Structure 1
Amino acid sequence: MVLFGFFALVLVAVYWVNRAVLLFDRLIADGHSAAVFLEFSALSLPSVIALVLPMASFAAAVYVTNRLIGDSELTVVQATGYSPWRLARPVLVFGLIVAVMMSVLTHFLVPASISQLKEREVDISGSVSARLLREGTFLHPGPGVTFFIRQISPEGELRDVYLSDRRQADREVTYTADRAYVVQSDEGPRLVMVSGLAQTLQKEDNTLSTTIFANFTYDVGDLIAQSQNLNLRPHHMATWDLITRPEDMAALTQTPMSRIFEELHSRFQQALLGLVAALIGFSTLLTGSFSRFGVGRQIIVAIFLLVIVKLVESAVTDPTRNNALLWPLVYLPSLVGLAIAGLVLHIAARPFRPKRVSGTEVTP
C-alpha cells in the first residue's frame, strides 16, 4: 500500500501537470483569476486519480514482486510449499482494497466533481468581467460580436470602446464611444456608452447610416448568455439516479438508454480494473525463475497483457453505447483480465518443462 500510494502520487502529478497547463492557458486567457484556476484544478483531480489508480496498483504489485524475487525471499517461501495460488492471496486482498477505493471515486467523487465543474463553467461563462473587461485586446464574447477597450481606469471607467454587432443577417451595427460603464440592473448587466457614434450598415441596399448619441445602453447579459453550454451528459449524473431513474436520466441528458447503461456499468467496471491490474502484474512475474538479470522479460509480458485488456475495453465501447441489450459486454475486459491472471497462475503452478531424453537406449 505504501508503494501504491507513492506510484499513485507520481502518476497523478504527471497527469495533473499536463491537464493543468491546458486549463491554465484557457482560464487565464479568458481573464479569470488564479483562484478560479485552483478551483478548477481541484475539481478535476478526482477524474485524474480514477484514471491512474489501476496503473498505480499494477506498478506496486510488479515492484514488490520484483523485490521479493531479487532478494530470493519468494524462492524461500515457495520452497516451504506455498503454491502460486496461495501466494496470490495477499495480492487479491490488495486488489480488492484498490477496487473499493476506485468504487468510491467512480460512484461518488468523480460524478460530483464533474457536475460541480460543469456548474462552475456555466457560471464563469456568464461572467462579464472575465469575458469583456480586458483592455488592449479584441475579444469575441459571442458569435458575430467583437469588443475592444483601449484602457480601464482604476475607477472602472472604460475608455475608447469599440463594439461590432453582426448577429443579424440583414444589418451590421458598429458602436464607438469615448467612455463606457458596466452597470447591473434587474434584467442583467448593461453597457452604458457615453459620447459615441453608432454606424448601421444595411446589407440589402448597402447603405450606411450614422447616429451620434450622448449615451446609449447596450444589453450585454443576452450576449454573455449565448456562450453558456448547459448540456448535461451521463457522466454528470449520480450513480443512484442512473440505477433508479434511467429513463429520466436519458431524457434529461438527451441520450439513448444504451448510453445510460454503458455509463452505469462502466463505473463498476473501472473499479475492477485495479484488481485485474494487480493480479496480472503479480502472476506474470511469478512465472520467471530467479535470474541475476532480473525479470525484465516478465514485466514486458505483463504490460503486453494489460494492453490486451485495454484493447478489449476499446472494442466493446461502441457496441454497448449503440445497443442497450449489450451492457454485459462492459464487464468483458475484467473477465478477460481475470482469466489471463488465472491462466498465468496455472502456468506458474505447473510450468511447462521439456521432456528429458535418456542418453542410452535400452533394448529388451
Structure 2
Amino acid sequence: MARFDRYVLSQLFVLFGFFSLVLVSVYWINRAVILFDRLIADGQPASVFLEFTALSLPNVVRLVLPMSAFAASVYVTNRLASESELVVMQATGYSPWRLARPVFTFGVLVGLFMMALTQYLVPSSLEQLRFRENEISGSLSAQLLREGEFMNPTAGVTFYIREITPEGVLKDVFLSDRRNEDRVTTYSSVDGFLVTEETGPKLVMVNGIAQTLIKEDRKLTKTKFTDFAYSISSLIDAPGAIFKPLDQRPTSELFLATDIVAKATGKTPGRVLEEAHGRFNQPFLCLVAALIGFSTLLVGGFSRFGVGRQIIGAILLLVLVKLVESIVTDPVRNNPELWPLVYAQSVFGFSVVFIMLHLAARPRRRRKDASAQVGASA
C-alpha cells in the first residue's frame, strides 16, 4: 500500500473513531436516562444497568456507523483540500479514481465491521437483552415489591404494599382476587413475607382478615387469621416464553424458514426477506456513505471560500439514498419476489459515486487535451 494511502487511511480511522464515539454517546445517553429510571424504580442494582447498556451498544453502533463513515470522509477530504495535499497529489498524476482508493479501502473495512454486527452481534445481543428484560419483569421484585403503588400483576388481581422494611417485612398488605366469576376474595394483613418453596413462591400474610363476597346471594363472610399462605405462582409471568422478533433471529433462519418465521412473528414473507437482505445491504451503505462524502467534495473543485456547498450537496445525496429505501419498502414487503429491490439504494449510491468521480476527472482530461493541441500546433 502506498504511503499516501496509509496516510489517508490513518486520518480516516482517527476521525471515524471520534465521530463514532460522539454519536454513540448521544444515542446511549438518550436511552440510558430512560433505562436507568426504569431499573432503579424496580430496585435493580447498578450491575444490571451496566449489563443492559452493554447489550444495547451493538445495535447503537450499527445505527451510527454509516453516519460516522460519511462524517470522517467529508472531514478528511476537506482538510486534505484546504491544505492543498490533494492538489499536490493530482499534480503528480493521481486521478480522482486513484485518490478514491484509500477511501474505498476504508469503506470496505467499515462494511466488514458492519457485517459482523448485523449478522452476529446485533441479533444475539438483542435476543439476550430481550431475555433479561423478560426475566427481570417476571421477577418478584419487579412485579410485586413496589411501595405505595396499586399493581395488577395479572387480570383480576390487585396488590398493594404500604412499606417494605430493610428486613424485608411487607407492611399493610392488600390483595384482591376477582378471577373467580362467582366470588371476590380480599385479603388484608398487618405484615407479610415472600417465601420461595418447591411448589413455587408464596405470600405469607400475618395478622389479617380474609373477606369473601358471594356474588349470587350478595353474602359476605369474614375470616380472621394469624398467618395465611397464598400461592402467587400464577401472578408472575414465566420468563422462559419469550417472543422473538425478526431482528433477534439468525439470518440463516430468515432465509431457510421464511414462511415459518412469518407465521411466528405475524409478518409477511416479504418483510422477513427484507430483514434478511437488509443485513447484507447495510455494509454496502457504509461504503456508499464514505465514497459519496469524498467524491462530492472532489467534484466541486477547491476554493479558499470553503466547500460548504459541496457538503450540503453530499448530505442531500444521502437523503436521496434514504428516499430510495422508503420507495422500495412497501413493494418488497407486499411481494417477496421483489427482494432484489432491497439493494436499490446501494446501487443508486454507487451510481452517484461513479458519476461524481467521472465528473471530477473530466477537467483534468480537458487540460491534457488542450496541452496536446498546443503542442501539435507548435
TM-score (norm 1): 0.89
Alignment partner, residue 362 of structure 1: none
Q: CA deviation at 1:248?
A: 4.5
Alignment partner, residue 49 of structure 1: 61
Indicate the structure with greater helix content: 2
**Correspondence for 1:187 among 177, 199, 213:** 199
Q: What is the alpha-carbon root mean square deviation over aligned residues?
A: 2.3
Within the alignment, does 1:196 sit opposite 2:217 as a pair? no
What does residue range 1-364 of structure 1 map to in structure 2 within 5 Å? 1-168=13-180, 171-202=183-214, 207-225=219-237, 230-350=242-362
Greater shift after overlay, 33-42 or 312-321?
Answer: 312-321
In structure 1, what is the Cα distance between the partners aligned to 2:240 and 2:184?
24
Aligned residue for 1:225, secondary structure, equals: coil
Aligned residue for 2:163, secondary structure, equals: strand
Aligned residue for 1:178, secondary structure, equals: strand
Letter of the structure 1 residue corresponding to residue 358 of structure 2: H
Distance 1:302 1:148, change over 3 A: same
Distance 1:348 1:190, change over 3 A: same
In structure 2, what is the Cα distance between the partners aligned to 1:180 and 1:152?
9
Q: CA deviation at 1:275?
A: 0.4
Aligned residue for 1:230, secondary structure, equals: coil
Q: CA deviation at 1:202?
A: 4.7
Letter of the structure 2 residue corresponding to residue 128 of structure 1: L
Q: Which runs of 5+ in 2 are unaligned?
A: 1-12, 367-378
Letter of the structure 2 residue corresponding to residue 6 of structure 1: F
Greater shift after overlay, 36-45 or 77-86?
Answer: 77-86
Q: Residue by residue, what CA displacement relative to the aligned partner does 1:337-361 show, whole Å, maximum 9, x if unpaired?
A: 11111112222222599xxxxxxxx
Aligned residue for 2:175, secondary structure, equals: strand
Letter of the structure 2 residue corresponding to residue 243 of structure 1: F
Q: CA deviation at 1:219?
A: 2.2
Aligned residue for 1:68, secondary structure, equals: helix
Distance 1:162 1:321, change over 3 A: same
Q: CA deviation at 1:176?
A: 0.6
Contact 2:206 2:228 survives alignment (8 Å): yes
Distance 1:142 1:34, change over 3 A: farther
Letter of the structure 2 residue corresponding to residue 50 of structure 1: R
Aligned residue for 1:333, secondary structure, equals: helix
Q: Residue by residue, what CA displacement relative to the aligned partner does 1:222-260 show, whole Å, maximum 9, x if unpaired?
A: 111179872211211112333344444445445443232
Contact 2:163 2:170 survives alignment (8 Å): yes
Contact 1:136 1:149 survives alignment (8 Å): yes
Percent identical among aligned pairs is 60
In structure 1, what is the Cα distance between the partners aligned to 2:239 and 2:157?
11
Distance 1:323 1:346, change over 3 A: same
Contact 1:132 1:139 survives alignment (8 Å): yes
Letter of the structure 2 residue corresponding to residue 268 of structure 1: F
Contact 1:91 1:279 survives alignment (8 Å): yes
Distance 1:128 1:341, change over 3 A: same
Distance 1:299 1:331, change over 3 A: same
Distance 1:33 1:18, change over 3 A: same
Contact 2:139 2:236 survives alignment (8 Å): yes
Aligned residue for 1:350, secondary structure, equals: helix
Letter of the structure 1 residue corresponding to residue 71 of structure 2: A
Count of residues paired in the alignment: 353
Contact 1:125 1:228 survives alignment (8 Å): no
Alignment partner, residue 361 of structure 1: none
In structure 1, what is the Cα distance between the partners aligned to 2:261 and 2:107?
32
Q: CA deviation at 1:336?
A: 1.0
Contact 1:309 1:334 survives alignment (8 Å): yes
Q: CA deviation at 1:192?
A: 1.4
TM-score (norm 2): 0.86
